[in-house]
Structure 1
Amino acid sequence: MRPARGLAPLSAAGLALAAASCGGHPYPELPPAQHVVIVSVDTLRADHLGCYGAASAHTETFDRLAREGVLAEQAVAPAPITLPSHATLLTGLEPWHLGIWHNGLYRLEDRFETLAERLRSEGFETAAFVAGAPLASGSGIEQGFDLFDDAIPDLESAGYEEPSRTAESVTDAAVAWIGSRPGGGRRRFLFVHYYDPHAPYSPPPRYLEDAGGTGGAEGFVAYQGEIAYVDDQLDRLVRALEEHGWLDRTLLVVTADHGEGLMQHGELTHGLFLYDETIRVPLILRYPGLPAGRRIAPVVSLSDVVPTVLEALGLALPEGLDGQSFWRLAQGGNPAREYAFSESRLGSIEYGWAPLRAVRTGEWKFIAAPEPELYDLRRDPGETKNRFETARKTAGWLSEQLERAFARIAPDRPRALDDAELGRLQSLGYFQGGAPGTARPAQGLADPKRMIRVQQQLHIASFEIGQGRYRAAEKRLRELIARDPGNLAARCRLADAWVAMGLLGPAERVLSQALELTKGDPRRSAEVLWRLAGVHRRRGEYDLALRAYEKHDTLVPPSAASIAMRARVLHLAGRTEEALALLEHWLERSPRSTAAWRELARIAEDAGFAGRADEAWRRVLELHPGDTEATRKLARKD
């Protein structure tokens, strides 16, 4: 058990404002916050925090902030997956209006204004410290930040256990930034992202032990250990805000992008289902003058955070936001919304199953699926008894709300993933069969709840591959293919296991079989071709690899990543000038492409063209300040 911790009490002004309230009357007008800090803890279930009812949780910091601030009891994520949910958190627009349904496959387009862009235009200094690959530069989340620190270790060097950076590393960087900027003076926006509760769960040993586990513990206990570890790092962050004069001038928002299944309803991690274990998230506001310890029962959405922050800062709200401010509700006013909406297309995108949509009120949740679901959340918070057949009128009313909310949907324009991006995301359990086509209409598609066993086996196989247990993964995937010969995902993951074992011949054969399954679906074919090209590249068959990469680029629009890979193969084949020319031609049309400048620098350096390499590394650093590889390469020249 960790010792209890406490901060200095709220300022005298804050106490006076709190004392001015009585009963259920709205609180008086609060002075605008000078700064705003948003902390997002990836994959954090609300019901695993003490302040949300988890009696055995070691979450003293979260609990203290809830006592000192306002807690939303029914905060809803718009998607059970990292990038779509964070895009909503930082724009106030729903994922289906942004056109973002998955990690990696989509990006936040420049035409959408982020909170960071708006605040920078108002004179704020903006900084972000990001822990997980789905939010790294290129995701679009970086828009508007003066400093965007995503120094995430490369997957190949970091290994499976850390395709992200630890909460301690993130906090070290954020605390250093806070320490160099006193609380007075220029207004500031700080965004801090922690990733540790995301699978695979590997908390530092003492946190695992405190949670009741051992070195081999998995699942619930290790997940609790990760949360306790983040809680300690959040304490460090809050103390830095206090020590440097920020805290009593700052609106602090602590939330999460989604939760975690932990085998409730059969889901091991997250992304597929829309039950509360994955879409109900913690949401706490702390600001002097807010009624300490207040709990708000009406439903709110992560899309409401941007308008709430803007109102708290005394800034006008832009037109067209999906979110609605709950700043007045936090002070004792009336709720701004009755419904919150969520969508999951992971099953459709990755497996060809039906997409899911949900609408939630304070009392009911309706899930639109091939087999519709309706839950009475007050009587059945665990969502175990489907009331669809016995409460058709309620289901019909909620279905109408859902249809209105999704009447306008952005075009579905996924992008191609490169080898490294695909590897990162697969190590986290996504894209088990590559990054296949766009979401399909729900009619006639399998209901994900009837297919959960398949996803469980693919997730387990993915984790086994990442942990080096290739034979176990091979056995599991062979059995899955024997039961379901048309399962493209199982064939692709089996190829990954064989590539990791050095069995390139079998990997090539199973990918050739997978290619037959993708006829008529260009995007699925492209992703299989990408893997097949990788097999040829590893075998030194550069002509075959190049042809596969080139065919890939005829099936999907070429990207900086695919151009970089083609250039790499040309260089390996001894055609270095062609490689450099290909990259330079691409950079003429896309001069801000970090991936292309990075590959140009690497190839030029390897070929002995020092001047061209240095210039390319400088461009990488220009586009991505703090880039560790570019900084290291240029430092050697000084």
Structure 2
Amino acid sequence: MRIGKNLLRLFVPLPALLLAAACSSPAPPDLVVITVDTLRADRLGSYGYDQGLTPVMDRLAEEGVRYGDVSTAVPITLPSHSSLFTGRYPNSTGVRNNGSFVLPDEETTLAEILKDQGWATGAVIAAFPLHSRFGLDQGFDVYDDEFPLLSPGEESARFFPERDAAAVTDRALEVWERLGQTGKQRFLWVHYFDPHAPYDAPEPYRSTHGDRRYDAEIAYTDSEIGRLLDGIGNRDGRTLTVVTSDHGESLGEHDEKTHGLFLYQATMAVPLIVHWPDNLPAGVTVEHPVSLVDVVPILLQELGYPLPDGLDGSIASQPVYGESFLPKYNYTFSELRMVRDGALKYIDAPTPELYDLDQDPEELRSLAGGHPDQDRLTTILADILEAEDPESIDLAAGSLDPEAEANLRSLGYMAGGGGSATDSDRGRDPKDMVRYIKDMDRVHGIIAAGDTEAGFALFETLVEEVPENHMALLQYAGALFSEGRLKEAETQLLRLLDRRPEMNGAWVMLGGVRSAQGKIDQAAEAYRLAGSLTGRGEPYFQMASMYREIGEYRDAGTAYLEAVSREPSNQEYMDGWVEFHVSRGTLEVAEVAAASLAAEHPGEPVVRSAYGDILRRLRRYEEAAGQLQAALDLSPGMFTAESMLGHVELELGSLEQAGDRFRTLLDRRPESTGVRFGLAKALTLQGEHDAAAPLFRQVLIERPDFSPVFTFRGAQLEKGGDAAGAARMYQEALRINRGDQEAWEGYQRVRPR
């Protein structure tokens, strides 16, 4: 068994091991990268933990290569994964926080590199911070990020947008099989989110680990990783498997509850295990410091591909960089930067810190100000930052839409546009503001618990204590808005916008507040101002909803079209636009616009799927099938497109094909009423009435107001000559949904004259 070329440069000399390595080249592998969100390295048995949480990951370490001293580039989910998959630090990618940043198209991901080499690529994502809207879907044939998204105001701690580990594993195995059908080498990225707060593992893990709720989540995730690896055949030795994390969790160390604020080892140290029995030695540990940006060059070297230009990562030992701009963007405090060289770690802050991790692994005794290596470390840091574009630091200011803000706050982030990191005043030191930050974290809980006056009083205190923290003012206005205190919310938003007129999120919220007050023209002005500050569709989608609610349908249609034109990949906006035209009976207008969008964005599956849906509703079934198949070619397994294609196949008479499609989809989504209805229709049309009946009953139990059941039943009775029965069914469908065009047309045919 040979040692990969990258390992020759990373290992301490191991001559006996080198001699024992096999000389023959192994068969090309498949690649699986597993990222476990919020996983501290020191919670794995292979990294010294004695609670037995991670037998699966520990087995991989025993059979593979364990990197013993790995740092994330940034203790925040999106920027960390961006660095992991590009091999570039956040100051190179420009992605420095959750929600406010999008990985630029100019960046090259590992998935893009492998796809260009002929691989089939897929990803299964567990939570909102890695939604495709943030750019990490680049290079993936399948990017499965279908999890519940929050709407503004749905901020309960018990409801947040993630899938648990079992659901992720189920979907990952489906995607793995789908990639295998291509006959190509497979690259699958699987993201687990369970160790992220709030910690709520299922039984028996919750009971087994008692008060150690974080540990329970890790044990649960490890078991699901085992199920994943069994399903993909990891034990056959041919799959190159990588397990790592984006960041750790403080769990109260250094007065930090979770992660993102500081750069201490509790959140910066992550595991990294590389397992490939056919090609790598077993039981080897790499001891010197490495970074997650080194993973791309390590894997490309091992797979035999050239390294692209511009990588920050390396296969050779080098100083390690890290940063967090969350304090700057969320609170207007100072950003933090870090550099490590061996055991020495320097944190650049208003009050600098320097630690010798060999002597002080818990980072309790700063040596800054008197250590002989401090100047050398600051020089290394300056060299790393030399090429940084200062303007890139300010990209996040005000660029977050309210939906994303609500989703991210539910996960413990405020996802802010609080301050500009290019201000001449660097800002307060985060470690001096721990009490303030804790108050910012708990104020929403006070309001949610019903003590609104105490919560608003605390907001006033926070705003006055740190007047430059514009995010506190935005949060205050949002809380007032949620409580229906519209005039007060408007006052606070105007106060904020007087200071920071570039904060488009504040303009969007002001539009919502003014709309709720009936100030329609002023609301529209606020939405348009927001739209002028961002290329996103959110301001126009909100404007469309406002106009639709008051019956200004022409303006609503214009705003919907602007939203989907700006973000043609946004499924929510596209669904809203199509549904608007369905309800208005203006599908012919939508078809013209959809054709134009499809011509402008031929590679966008959401557009092709929506165009197919419109054609289906216009009963242009052959054309609809073409558009829906095009969507599936662009995004294999796209659920909405595949479901609609099944309904089109029914109309085209391909009953068996449609039935098979619906059965497969129902296995994937047993909760889908539309798919269950599609299968029931297919069975009915094939004469299998006994098999269809329980499916129809289940549909009506799940959705008593599901009018298509009655419309379909009416059509069947009409076909059988029972005009009176058909009329009753059509009437029931219209009672539920007056916009059911098919029911209306059917009733006109059979109604008593």
Q: Same fold (TM over 0.5)?
A: yes
Q: SS at 2:237's partner residue?
A: helix
1:347 is aligned to 2:327: yes
8 Å CA contact retained: 1:101, 1:345? yes
- Give 3-state SS (helix, strand or coil) of 1:155's partner: coil
Amino acid at match of 1:530: V
Q: Which has the higher contact order (CA 8 A, sep 6+)?
A: 1
Of 264, 271, 283, the residue aligned with 1:282 is 271
SS of 2:204's partner is helix
Q: Letter of the 1:397 partner, please give it.
A: R
Asked if 1:138 corresponds to 2:129, the answer is no
Structure 1 position 347, deviation (Å)? 0.8
Counterpart AA for 2:358: R
The equivalences for 1:211-360 within 5 A come to 211-213=209-211, 221-242=212-233, 247-288=236-277, 289-325=279-315, 336-360=316-340
Change beyond 3 A, Cα 1:205–1:459: farther
1:120 lines up with 2:112 in the alignment = no
Instruction: Look up the equivalent residue of 1:546 and give its one-letter code.
Output: A
Matched, 1:189 2:187: yes
Q: 1:352 to 1:582 in 2, by over 3 A?
A: same
Contact kept, 8 Å, 1:563 with 1:582, in 2: the verdict is: yes
Q: In the alignment, what sits opposite 1:455? A: 437
Please, which of 422, 447, 456 is the counterpart of residue 440 of structure 1?
A: 422
One-letter code aligned to 2:295: V
**Residues 420-475 of structure 1, C-alpha deviation per residue, up to 9 Å, x if partnerless?**
1111111122227x53344235745200110122112222334566xxx3425762
- Residue 208 of structure 1 deviates from its aligned partner by 1.5
8 Å contact kept, 2:35–2:191: yes
Which residue in 2 is equivalent to 1:99?
Answer: 94
Deviations 1:480-537 (A, max 9, x none): 533652354444334444444xx312x541452353244342333x322322322334
| Paired residue secondary structure (2:491) | helix
Asked if the contact 1:532–1:548 (Cα under 8 Å) also holds between the matched residues in 2, the reply is yes
- Specify the code of the residue in structure 1 equivalent to 2:402: D
User: Does the C-alpha gap of structure 1 residues 509 and 247 become closer, same or farther in structure 2, counting only changes over 3 Å?
Assistant: farther
Q: 1:542 to 1:404 in 2, by over 3 A?
A: same
| Contact 2:102–2:133 (Cα < 8 Å) also in 1 | yes
Q: Deviations over 1:573-594 (max 9, x none)?
A: 3222222234435656765565
Partner-residue secondary structure (3-state), 1:382 = coil
Tell me what 1:86 maps to.
81
Equivalent in 597, 611, 618 of residue 610 of structure 2: 618
Contact conserved, 2:127 with 2:162, CA < 8 A, in 1? Answer: yes
Q: Which moved more, 1:617-626 or 1:566-575?
A: 617-626
Q: Is the 8 A contact 1:256 1:283 kept in 2?
A: yes
What is the deviation of 1:165? 1.1
Contact 2:334-2:429 at 8 Å conserved across structures: yes
CA distance in 2 between partners of 1:575 and 1:625 (Å)? 38
Q: 1:478 to 1:113 in 2, by over 3 A?
A: same
| Paired letter, 2:288 | P
Residues 87, 293 of structure 2: 8 Å contact kept: yes
Residue 329 of structure 1 corresponds to none
- The structural deviation recorded for 1:266 is 1.0
Distance 1:121 1:613, change over 3 A: same
Counterparts of 1:631 and 1:79, CA distance in 2: 38
Counterpart CA distance in 1 for 2:540 and 2:534 is 11
Q: Offset of 1:630 from its aligned partner?
A: 6.5
Check conservation: 2:544, 2:559, Cα contact below 8 A.
yes
Q: Does 1:602 align with 2:584?
A: no
Q: Please say if residues 504 and 539 of structure 1, whose CA atoms lie closer than 8 Å, have aligned partners that are also in contact.
A: no
1:529 to 507, 522, 533: 507
Task: Give the structure-1-normalised TM-score.
Answer: 0.85
- Equivalent pair of 1:43/1:259 in contact (CA under 8 Å): yes
Instruction: Give 1:250 deviation, angstroms.
Output: 1.5
| Of 136-145 and 470-479, the range deviating more from structure 2 | 470-479
Identify the residue that residue 142 of structure 2 maps to in structure 1: 147
CA contact (8 A) 2:123 2:189 kept: yes
Correspondent of 1:475 among 454, 457, 460: 454
| Equivalent position of 1:9 in the other structure | none
2:367 is aligned with 1:375: no
Matched residue type, 2:370 = T
Amino acid in the other structure paired with 1:277: A
The answer to whether the aligner puts 1:55 opposite 2:50 as a matched pair is yes
Q: Cα deviation per residue 1:184-204 (whole Å; 9 max; x = unaligned)?
A: 952111111111111122111
Q: 1:124 to 1:426 in 2, by over 3 A?
A: same
Higher fraction of helix:
2
Alpha carbons 1:48, 1:57 under 8 Å: kept = no
Residue in 1 that maps onto 2:551:
574
Structure 2 gaps of 5+ residues are: 4-13, 595-606, 614-627, 651-753
Maintained 8 Å contact 1:508/1:532: no
Flag structure 1 segments of 5+ consecutive residues without an equivalent.
Answer: 1-11, 15-20, 214-220, 326-335
Q: Aligned runs of 1:460-609 on 2, under 5 Å?
A: 460-462=442-444, 469-472=448-451, 475-476=454-455, 478-482=457-461, 484-485=463-464, 486=467, 488-500=470-482, 503-505=483-485, 507-524=486-503, 526-539=504-517, 541-554=519-532, 556-584=533-561, 594=571, 596-609=573-586
Could you tell me whether the CA contact under 8 Å between 2:2 and 2:18 is conserved in 1? no
Higher-Rg structure is 2
CA pair 631-267 structure 1, distance change in 2 beyond 3 A? farther
The structural deviation recorded for 1:29 is: 5.6
Contact 2:126 2:192 in 1 (8 A): yes
Alignment CA distance shift 1:618-1:551 (3 Å): closer
Alpha carbons 1:373, 1:388 under 8 Å: kept: yes
Alpha-carbon deviation of 1:299? Answer: 0.7
Q: Tell me the TM-score normalized by structure 2.
A: 0.73
Residue 545 of structure 2 aligns with an amino acid whose one-letter code is R
Q: 1:282 to 1:589 in 2, by over 3 A?
A: closer
DSSP 3-state at the match of 1:230: helix
Q: Percent of aligned pairs with the same residue? A: 35
Correspondence for 1:417 among 374, 395, 400: 400
Give the conservation status (yes or no) of the 8 Å contact 2:319–2:339. yes
Instruction: Give 2:274's aligned amino acid.
Output: L
The whole-number CA distance in structure 2 between the counterparts of 1:594 and 1:180 is 22
Give 1:176 shift. Answer: 2.2
| Closer, same or farther: CA 477–53 of 1 in aligned 2, 3 Å | farther
Distance 1:388 1:582, change over 3 A: same
Question: How far off its partner does 1:180 sit?
Answer: 5.0
- Give the deviation of 1:105 after TM superposition: 0.6
Mapped to 2, the partners of 1:25 and 1:61 lie a distance apart of 27
Kindly tell me: are residues 223 and 611 of structure 1, through their superposed partners in 2, closer, same or farther at Cα, counting changes over 3 Å? farther
Give, in whole Å, the separation in 2 of the partners of 1:115 and 1:534.
40
Which amino acid in 1 is paired with 2:239?
T
Q: Deviations over 1:295-317 (max 9, x none)?
A: 11111111111111111111111
